[in-house]
Chains A and B, each alone.
Chain A
C-alpha cells in the first residue's frame, strides 16, 4: 500500500486572491450604483419641486398684477367718469359736494396704481410711473379748472376735456394695455423657462438612466463572473472532498482487509504450529504415562503436565478461533454462525439463536467474513452493553443479496447519537461490499441491526 499522496490537482492558486478583490470591486460598484440611483432620484424630485414652485410663483405674480391692473383701470375709469360729469355740469365746482368726491376718486385711482407690485422689470416700473404721472397731471388739470370762474370754467370745460383729459385717458388705457401685455409676456417667458428647465431635467435623467443601466449591466456581468468562479471553486473543493473521502474509505477498506489477512495468518500459525506441537506434546505425555505404569509419583507429574498442556491447547485454540473462525472455511457461513452462537451461549449469560433460510454454503469469502464479523460485533454489543438475555440472528439469501438481522431485547441506545467504533466498523465492512446497514435502537427498546449485502453478479445469476 502506497501512502505517498498522489499529485492531486490543487485549487487554482491565482483564483484565491482574485476572488476577494473582485468581491470588493463588486461591493463598491453596488454601493456606487445605489448612490447614483438615490442621488438622481433626489435631484429629479428637487428639480421638479423647484419647477413647480417657480411656476406657481410666476402664476401668482401674473394673477396679482392682473388683479391690481384691473383695479387700476376700474378706479381710473370711475375717476374719469366723475371728472367728466363735473366738467360737463352747469354748476360751479365749489357749490357742489361732488368736488371732494372727484378728488377722492382721484386719490383712489392713484393708490390703486401705487398698489401695483414694484418687483417687476424697470420697463414695467416706468410704465406704472407713467400711469401715475397721468393721474397726477389729470388731478392738476382738474384742480386748476376748479380755480376758475364758473363762466370761464364752462367755456373751457369742453376744451379741457377734449384737448387734455381725453388724450391722456386714451394714453392711460394704452399704457395699461401695454402693462398687461408685458405681464402676459413675462408669464409666457417664465413658462418657457420652466419648460426648458424641465427639458434639461429630462436630458439629465435620461443620461443618468443610461449610466445606471450601463453600470448595472457591468455589475451584473461582474456578479455572474464572481458566481461562476465561486461555483468552479466549489466544484473543485467538492471534488477534492469526495476524493479525500474516497481515499479514506479506500484506506479503511485496506485496513480491514489487512486486519483480516493478518488475523488469518496469525490464526493459521497458532493452529498449525503451536496447536500441532501441543497436540504432539500431549500424545507424548500420554505415551510416557503408559510407560511408567507403576510409578505413582511419576504419574502425578505426568498428569500435571497433561493438565497444563490441555489448558494451553484450549487457550491457543480459542485465540485462533477468535482471530479467524476456521468454521467459515470448513463449514460455511450458517454453520459457522451456529457454532459461534453455541459458543457464546455456552460461555455467557446470553442465548444466541441462529435462524437461516436457504443460505448456500458457497458464498464468496469476503461476504461470509463480513456477515460473520457483523454478527460477532452485534452479539458482542448485545452481551456487553445491552446486557441482553436473548439474541436472534436471522439469515436469508435472496436471488440478489444476503440479508442478516440481529435483534436483541436489551437496554438499547440512542441510535441517532451513539456511534461507537464497533458500529462504525460494521458500517465500514458492509459499505465496502456495496451493502446497506440499518441500526435501529432506542433506550429501553432493544436493538435491531439489519444488513443487506449484494451477491456478486455471477453468483446472483447462478442462484436465481
Chain B
C-alpha cells in the first residue's frame, strides 16, 4: 500500500517531534520532511512533492497561511492542513481562501491529526469539531441579533445535497456524475445556493458548510 507522504512545518522542534511521533505510529503515514519556518516549508513542498503539508499558522518568515497560499498554487500541490490556536472564522476563512483543506486546532492535534491527514489526502475537507461548534454559535448569535432567518431553510433538498458535495471538495463535474445531472444544471443550482445564502466565494461556502455542521 502506498504511504501518505507528509511534510511537517512548525517553528518549535519539540512540537514537530511530537507530531512526528503521533504520525509515525500509523504505518500508512510517513513524514518525508520537516521545516522550521514558512519559507522553508514552501521550498520543501516544491522539492519533496509530499501528499500532505501540515503547517503551523504562527511561524516566523512567512506564516502558515501565506505559506499555504504559495504551496497550493503549484501544480500537483499537496493538500494542506493548518494547525491553529484560533477558532475564529476570520482565520478559518483566511485559511480556506489560501487553499487550505484541513483546519486543525492545536488542542486536538493529537487526537484529530491523523484523521485530518487522511481526509485531506482523499481530497476531502477536515475541520476540528470544536471549530464547527464555535462557528455555529457565532452564526446563531448573529442571526438572533439581526433578526434574520436561517437561510439554510430556503434551500431545496437537491440544493442541500449539492452544497454538501461542493463543500466537501467535489468539482461540478463530479457532482453532476454522482447525481446524474448535467454540469450546466449543477452550475445553476450552485449559483442559486450562493445567492440564497448570500455567499461570494467557494471558501465562504465551505465555511458556511462547516458552520452548519454539513461537513467536518
A310 near B137: Cβ-Cβ < 8 Å: no
| Minimum Cβ distance to chain A for residue B63 (Å) | 6
Of residues 237 to 288 in A, which have CB atoms within 8 Å of B's CB atoms?
Answer: 271-272, 275-277, 279-280, 282-287
B91 near A331: Cβ-Cβ < 8 Å: yes
Q: Determine the distance from Cα of A285 to Cα of B19 in the docked complex, in whole angstroms.
A: 13
Which A residues are in CB contact (< 8 Å) with B57?
A: 330
Picked from A285, A286, A342, A390, the residue with its CB within 8 Å of the CB of B88 is A342
Of residues 84 to 121 in B, which have CB atoms within 8 Å of A's CB atoms?
Answer: 85-86, 88-91, 94, 106-107, 109-111
Judge if B178 is at the interface, Cβ distance under 8 Å. Answer: no
For B57, B94, B109, B110, the residue with the greatest tally of chain A CB atoms inside 10 Å of its CB is B110
Judge if B158 is at the interface, Cβ distance under 8 Å. Answer: no
Which B residues are in CB contact (< 8 Å) with A277?
A: 14
Given contact pairs A282-B107, A283-B19, A284-B18, A275 touches B88 in the complex (Cβ within 8 A): no
Which A residues are in CB contact (< 8 Å) with B138?
A: 342, 345-346
B88 near A276: Cβ-Cβ < 8 Å: no
Judge if B22 is at the interface, Cβ distance under 8 Å. Answer: yes
| Minimum Cβ distance to chain A for residue B208 (Å) | 16
Given contact pairs A271-B58, A282-B107, A327 touches B90 in the complex (Cβ within 8 A): yes
Smallest CB-CB separation from A329: which chain B residue?
B63
Q: Determine the distance from Cα of A310 to Cα of B109 in the docked complex, in whole angstroms.
A: 12
Picked from B21, B85, B89, B145, the residue with its CB within 8 Å of the CB of A287 is B21
Number of interface residues of A (CB under 8 A): 31
| Minimum Cβ distance to chain B for residue A320 (Å) | 9
Q: Determine the distance from Cα of A271 to Cα of B90 in the docked complex, in whole angstroms.
A: 19
A339 near B111: Cβ-Cβ < 8 Å: no
Given contact pairs A287-B110, A310-B107, A330-B58, A276 touches B14 in the complex (Cβ within 8 A): yes
Which A residues are in CB contact (< 8 Å) with B85?
A: 275, 317
Of residues 327 to 344 in A, which have CB atoms within 8 Å of B's CB atoms?
Answer: 327, 330-331, 335-336, 338-339, 342-343
| Minimum Cβ distance to chain B for residue A408 (Å) | 14
Judge if B141 is at the interface, Cβ distance under 8 Å. Answer: yes
Picked from A286, A313, A342, A346, the residue with its CB within 8 Å of the CB of B111 is A286
| B3-30 near A? 1/0 per residue, CB < 8 Å | 0000000001011001101100100000
Picked from A276, A310, A339, the residue with its CB within 8 Å of the CB of B90 is A339
| A284-326 near B? 1/0 per residue, CB < 8 Å | 1111001000000000000000000010010001000000001
Judge if A397 is at the interface, Cβ distance under 8 Å. Answer: no
Judge if B65 is at the interface, Cβ distance under 8 Å. Answer: yes
| B34-59 near A? 1/0 per residue, CB < 8 Å | 00000000000000000000000110
Q: Determine the distance from Cα of A339 to Cα of B138 in the docked complex, in whole angstroms.
A: 11
A283 near B110: Cβ-Cβ < 8 Å: yes
Given contact pairs A284-B18, A317-B85, A346-B138, A279 touches B91 in the complex (Cβ within 8 A): no
Which B residues are in CB contact (< 8 Å) with A180?
A: none
A280 near B14: Cβ-Cβ < 8 Å: yes
B12 near A276: Cβ-Cβ < 8 Å: yes
B145 near A351: Cβ-Cβ < 8 Å: yes
Which B residues are in CB contact (< 8 Å) with A343?
A: 88
Which A residues are in CB contact (< 8 Å) with B109?
A: 279, 282-283
Smallest CB-CB separation from A268: which chain B residue?
B58
A339 near B88: Cβ-Cβ < 8 Å: yes
B107 near A335: Cβ-Cβ < 8 Å: no
Q: Determine the distance from Cα of A123 to Cα of B106 in the docked complex, in whole angstroms.
A: 142
Given contact pairs A279-B109, A310-B107, A346 touches B137 in the complex (Cβ within 8 A): yes
Smallest CB-CB separation from A284: which chain B residue?
B18
Picked from A272, A283, A345, A346, the residue with its CB within 8 Å of the CB of B18 is A283
A330 near B91: Cβ-Cβ < 8 Å: yes
| Minimum Cβ distance to chain B for residue A53 (Å) | 103
Of residues 103 to 162 in B, which have CB atoms within 8 Å of A's CB atoms?
Answer: 106-107, 109-111, 134, 137-138, 141, 145
Which A residues are in CB contact (< 8 Å) with B86?
A: 327, 339
| Minimum Cβ distance to chain A for residue B61 (Å) | 13
Which A residues are in CB contact (< 8 Å) with B19?
A: 283
Picked from B18, B25, B65, B94, the residue with its CB within 8 Å of the CB of A280 is B18
Q: Determine the distance from Cα of A31 to Cα of B63 in the docked complex, in whole angstroms.
A: 83
Which B residues are in CB contact (< 8 Å) with A279?
A: 15, 106-107, 109
Q: Determine the distance from Cα of A277 to Cα of B18 in the docked complex, in whole angstroms.
A: 11
Q: Determine the distance from Cα of A290 to Cα of B26 in the docked complex, in whole angstroms.
A: 13
Picked from A282, A317, A351, the residue with its CB within 8 Å of the CB of B110 is A282
Picked from B14, B21, B94, the residue with its CB within 8 Å of the CB of A335 is B94
Which B residues are in CB contact (< 8 Å) with A286?
A: 22, 110-111
Smallest CB-CB separation from A285: which chain B residue?
B110
| A80-106 near B? 1/0 per residue, CB < 8 Å | 000000000000000000000000000
Q: Determine the distance from Cα of A285 to Cα of B94 in the docked complex, in whole angstroms.
A: 30
Q: Determine the distance from Cα of A302 to Cα of B170 in the docked complex, in whole angstroms.
A: 40
Q: Determine the distance from Cα of A285 to Cα of B12 in the docked complex, in whole angstroms.
A: 18
Smallest CB-CB separation from A389: which chain B residue?
B145
Which A residues are in CB contact (< 8 Å) with B94?
A: 330-331, 335
25 contacting pairs across A/B (C-beta < 8 A): A271-B58, A272-B12, A276-B14, A279-B106, A279-B109, A280-B14, A282-B109, A283-B18, A283-B19, A283-B22, A283-B109, A283-B110, A286-B110, A290-B25, A326-B58, A327-B86, A330-B65, A331-B94, A336-B90, A339-B90, A342-B88, A342-B89, A342-B138, A345-B138, A346-B141
Q: A342-B89, A346-B141 are in contact. List 17 more A-B contacts (CB 8 A).
A: A271-B58, A279-B109, A282-B106, A282-B109, A283-B109, A285-B110, A287-B22, A327-B86, A330-B58, A330-B65, A330-B91, A331-B90, A331-B94, A336-B90, A338-B90, A342-B88, A343-B88
Interface of B toward A, CB cutoff 8 Å: 12, 14-15, 18-19, 21-22, 25, 57-58, 63, 65, 85-86, 88-91, 94, 106-107, 109-111, 134, 137-138, 141, 145
Among all A-B residue pairs, the 7 with the closest Cβ atoms: A286-B110, A283-B18, A335-B90, A283-B110, A276-B12, A339-B90, A339-B88
